[in-house]
Structure formats: C-alpha cells, structure tokens
Structure 1
Amino acid sequence: MTARTTRRALGLVSTVLVGVLTAGCGLSSGSAVPLPVAPGSIKPVPELEGATFTVGSKDFTEQIILGYLAEFALSAAGADVRDLSNITGSSSARNALQSGQTDVMMEYTGSSWISYNGNSTPIPDAHQQYEAVRKQDLERNGIAWTGVSYGSDNTYAFALNQDAARRLGITKLSDIPKVIAEHPDQATFCVETEFATRNDGLPGVEKTYGFQPDPSKVKTLSTGSIYQATANGTCTFGEVFTTDGRIESLHLKVLDDDRKFFPRYNIGATTRDELLKRYPQLAQVFQPVLDRLNNQELMKLNAQVDVYGRDPADVARDWMAQQGFVTIPGKH
C-alpha cells in the first residue's frame, strides 16, 4: 500500500478488520531497537531512565524512518525502547496507540484532523491547524501531541519535469489555467484514482484555481507510475507527495499551492495523555528532532530508502548522528 493510500483510506478499514490486524501482528510485544546509540545533544533524562516505551509507526517509508528517529531519541535519553514500526494500516497503528499497545507514534496533523476526527474542512494555517488538532485529539481521544514540526508538510502537490517548467514558465498552481488556455495539448494530468474524485483532490483543486481540464487529458495511474510518467513527460502535471524522495531523484519541479488549498500534514509526536502527564519530559526529547525536520530533509531521508535501497534504521541513525542528537558507539 502506498503512503498516500495508507494515510487517506482510513475509512475503508472496518472495526472488525482493525481488531484482526492488531491481534494478529504481535502488537503487544515489539522487538528491541535495531541499532545501538549513545547520548549526543540528547542527554540522559533521569525521569526516563528505566521507563519502557513502545514506538509504533505506519507501514510506509517515511513513517518507518520517523519511528526510528523517535526510538533513537528515547534511547539516547536513557529510556528502554521497544520497536513496533511498520504496522499494517494507519487505522491499526492509531488503534495500537490508543489501546496502549504502543506508546509513541509520529503523526500528521491532517491525518488526525480529517481521518481520525472526521473533520471535512482543513485549516490552511499550519499553527492554527496544529492547535485545533491538539485540542480535539486530547478532548475526544485522550491523545496528546508533545510538539510539531512546522517545517515538514507531507501533503499533496502537483509537479512537472524541469523541461516543462521552463518551457511553460510556470511556478504555481494558479498558472495552470493559462497553460490550459494557451497550450491545451500540453495540459495533461496524471493522478491516482482516489485523488481524481476526492473533494480535497482534483475536483477541489479545479474549483479553487478555476480550471477544468479536458477529461481525455486526465490519466489515472498508480503512485510510482505517476512520478516516472511526470519525469519522462507522459503527463505534464503529476500528483505527488511533497516529501517523496523521488521528487529529488527525478528532478521534478513542485508547483506552489499559492491559494493554500491542500490540507497541512505537519509531523508531530503523539502519545496518550496519561503517559505525557507521567513523563512530560517526552516533549523535550522529541521537539529538537522535530525542529530539525523539513521537507528537504525528509525527501533526502526517503530517497535513501526508496531510491538507493538503504535500510530505514541505518538511514535514521545516521541522520540522528549527523545532526548531533546521538552518537554511535565505537564510531569516532
């Protein structure tokens, strides 16, 4: 399942299926952190020493990397950490956190606002969206957000290859109507099936930016196919995910969402309220890491796995060490 469909299709998983998944994945145990780390700028926190935290994640590249970042941060702080990354399905991962099978998960503000809390209208301002999510998740679900990364926003976007960007002279979504009017033969779109019909997908983009592409110019493809089709010019405009490593590796140009249509998907660390009250120090452990994350960093991290085939745990630990958060035992 792709990152986008995993995150967006939560409503398709029934309560019964969630129960089967959580019971059948061994979610009550977890395994040891895959690689050792020692303190760096993240120092041992006395209140966390000896405390055990199980870290969960969803089952796509970025989420698995984020899960390991949280694990290494907690390990450096002196906590005992169990790894329960790569849980199949976003609903199952969220259910595991709420039920106490996991204790920490990196989450997206848009996922919580729309998918978990059932809101249909996103809040364009990232700070306001986070505060609304934080308040609602706490009141409705007992889920506490320890902080957020405003520099990271893993949302929808449209991209095109560099040649098309130069030839058409466009940099933002509001330029698309001009392309349709002046170069109708080049106004081709590649999107996923779900994106083609969702209100927060192509229909909403069309309404917000005032254009209507020729239906014959809109192709529905799988996620991976869209990136390559955009790069080779099969379609001019490809629907992408803003932190996907293939954007950088294929040298795609992402158009600015200048009317702020797409929901914000800023990354934050989540836990249960009772656990954060017991260990308020979790916020000081995670926030420096969140502050260092941005879309460019995430694209590089994701590309290390999706493009170059590296192991997510290695990628996450190397980044934590490069940033000075942790040190690697035996490495000088």
Structure 2
Amino acid sequence: MNRRKMVVATAFVTSALALTACGGGSDPLDTSSGDSDTAASSDTIVVGSANFSENELLAEIYAGALEAKGVKVEKKLNIGSRETYVPALEDGSIDLLPEYSGNLLSYLDSDTEAVSSDDVYAALPAALPEGLSVLEQSTAEDKDAAVVTKETADKYSLTSIADLKDKDLVLGGPPEWKTRATGVPGFEKNYGVEFKSFKSLDAGGTLTINALKNGQVDVADVFTTDPNIAAEGWVILEDPKNQFAAQNVVPLINKDKASQTVTDALNAVSAALTTENLTDMMEEVVMDAKEPADVADEFLTENKLS
C-alpha cells in the first residue's frame, strides 16, 4: 500500500534506483549516477512511488498519462515510506507521487479529526509543506485495514477492532506502524487494544500476506484492494472509531511542476479511477503477476488517456 509489495523489474529505471526490502542497495533518489549527472530539467516531471505494488501501478498510470500529453517523464519508483518520499518531494528530488488522502493528512497532522473523504481532502492544503499541492482526488479508495483469518475471527468472536481488547494477539504491519497514529499507538488510544507483540513486516506486501497465512501474526495490516482478502476468506475488522480515515487516491505534486497540461492529464486520471477498477488492476498485478507498467498501459488505453 513491501504495502502489497512485489518485486517489479522496470526497464527504464537504472540500477541506481534499486531498493531492497531491507533498505539496502543504491539510493533511488541519487541523481549522481546513471545516464545523467544532474537532476531532471525544469520541463521534466520526476514521478516517484512508495515501496508497494499498488503505488507503483498508480505511478506508472500517472507517468503514462503525462507522456501521452507530450510531457517529459522520469521515473524513480519504489522509494520507500512517507518518511523518505515527502522530504524528496520537498527538496525536488521527485515532483509527483500518488498519495492516499487520509494517511497523508495523518502523517502531516497527527491531531487531525477529519475522517470523511470530503473533510480529509478539504484539510490537506493547509497541512501540506510549502511548495506542495494536491490535485483532484479520485473516488478510488484503498484503506489500511486490520485483517484476521476466518479461523481467528471465529475463535475470538472478532467483528470489530474493539473486540481485539485483552486477546493477547500478535500484530503485523510495516515498520512505521510502530509509531504512526494509524498503527500501534492508534489501536491503544482509540480502542484500548494492546497486542502481545508487534512484528515488523512490510507495507501490505508478501511478507505481511504470508505471515497472516502462516499464523506468524494474528492481525495484519492488509489493504482493502488486496485480492488476497477475498481469495483467502479473510475478515476485515470494523473500525467504528475511524482509526483509518478516508483514503482516496490523489496526486501529490510540486506546485512549480503543476502546469495546466500536467494538471489536466492527472485530473483526467483521477476522474477515471474507481475503487472497482483499482481492485481489478491489483488482482492482475498480485494474482496474475502482470507487470504494473503493462496493467497501467491497459488502463490508459481503455480510458482513452493514452
């Protein structure tokens, strides 16, 4: 949402952009190696992505839509979490990245009380660092969710996150969940839930999916568009206190690069994206092992955006 990570080979990303699941390898934001010794020129949009497959897919869609309008594009995919890519946006290492409204707002303003799609989107501009802006958000939504197997749900009578209280279970999620308001601190603050332990995995990716399948964790952060939920018959626990706010897909961009051509192209993508077609695309990526770039091309063609 590594968040559902699959290792994706991208022909046009140089080896300097490689990032392993444990954080090794070359720095994906290093512009001192590769084909150019300087950062991208002012007329080039550098499209980044977080380190999970859905975000890579969305970045490929953004890049393809811009290229179709004649915009020069450079891609720096699989950068990492917000702790890495937000500063990269601020310093101009990247210009554009697909974001999720609620988690972005929570990252920028841990005290926010906005939870609905409209309220979250309305609160974002004031919370954003200077020089960054969001364009039109899509109706497509992919939320973090506390997910358990059907066996665990039946054993402990679990239907809501509140039911996890005093159950002595193991939680699995991305490393940042140890400190983020949507992770361990949020479960304790919102529901009084303390877990036996927290297992640091990845952002809804193969480590998390396999840990839940194999019983290494009892509760896992799995994203709501992940096809494994339906395929495995897993249970999404209800979140009556809105620990996880609305998570609409929205372009986060440097204001200096948001020309009318760029804005129009990205807003057209947002208008075409829905939760349903995003879920369908993720099934192709996760279950059918299709390359995100190929799935992105199909989406752009079907929606007359290329």
> How does the TM-score come out when normalised to structure 1?
0.67
Matched AA of 2:284: Q
Structure 2 stretches lacking a partner, 5+ long: 6-22
1:211 and 1:196 map into 2 onto residues whose CA distance is: 14
1:313 and 1:59 map into 2 onto residues whose CA distance is: 15
1:153 to 134, 142, 148: 142
2:249 and 2:99 map into 1 onto residues whose CA distance is: 6
Are 1:129 and 2:120 an aligned pair?
yes
**Distance of aligned partners of 1:79 and 1:203 in 2 relative to their CA distance in 1, 3 Å threshold:** same
Could you say what secondary structure the match of 1:205 adopts?
A: helix
Could you say what secondary structure the match of 2:290 adopts?
A: coil
Contact 1:22–1:96 under 8 Å retained in 2: no
Counterparts of 1:17-36 in structure 2 under 5 Å? 21-24=30-33, 28-29=39-40
What are the superposed Cα offsets for residues 189-239 of structure 1, whole Å, 9 maximum, x if unpaired?
A: 3324653555432242133224445x3xx4525233432333355544323
Partner of 2:19: none
Structure number having the greater helix percentage: 1
Could you say what secondary structure the match of 2:140 adopts?
A: strand
What are the superposed Cα offsets for residues 91-131 of structure 1, whole Å, 9 maximum, x if unpaired?
A: 5544554444544322233454344x4x2223323322222
Contact 2:3–2:222 under 8 Å retained in 1: no
Worse-superposed segment, 254-263 or 17-26: 17-26
1:59 and 1:164 map into 2 onto residues whose CA distance is: 29
Partner of 1:255: 237
Are 1:171 and 2:171 an aligned pair?
no
What are the superposed Cα offsets for residues 127-186 of structure 1, whole Å, 9 maximum, x if unpaired?
A: 22222212332xx4211211112431343x211223444566543323434xx5xxx5xx
Query: Structure 1 vs Structure 2: percent identity of aligned residues?
Result: 23
CA RMSD of aligned residues (A): 3.7
Are 1:120 and 2:110 an aligned pair?
yes
1:28 and 1:60 map into 2 onto residues whose CA distance is: 24
Worse-superposed segment, 95-104 or 305-314: 95-104
Could you say what secondary structure the match of 1:298 adopts?
A: helix
Structure 1 stretches lacking a partner, 5+ long: 6-12, 31-50, 328-332
1:136 and 1:18 map into 2 onto residues whose CA distance is: 28
Could you say what secondary structure the match of 1:208 adopts?
A: helix
For residue 317 of structure 1, report the CA deviation from its aligned partner.
Answer: 1.1
Are 1:205 and 2:181 an aligned pair?
no
What are the superposed Cα offsets for residues 262-305 of structure 1, whole Å, 9 maximum, x if unpaired?
A: 344432113232333xx334443223422443445434433433
Contact 2:100–2:249 under 8 Å retained in 1: yes
Counterparts of 1:1-332 in structure 2 under 5 Å? 2-3=2-3, 21-24=30-33, 28-29=39-40, 53-76=45-68, 78-86=69-77, 88-90=79-81, 93-110=85-102, 112-115=104-107, 117=108, 119-122=109-112, 123-137=114-128, 140-155=129-144, 157-165=145-153, 170-177=158-165, 180=166, 188-192=169-173, 194-196=176-178, 198-213=180-195, 215=196, 218=197, 220-223=199-202, 224-233=206-215, 235-276=217-258, 279-322=259-302, 324-326=303-305
Could you say what secondary structure the match of 1:127 adopts?
A: helix
Contact 1:60–1:86 under 8 Å retained in 2: no
1:110 and 1:191 map into 2 onto residues whose CA distance is: 21
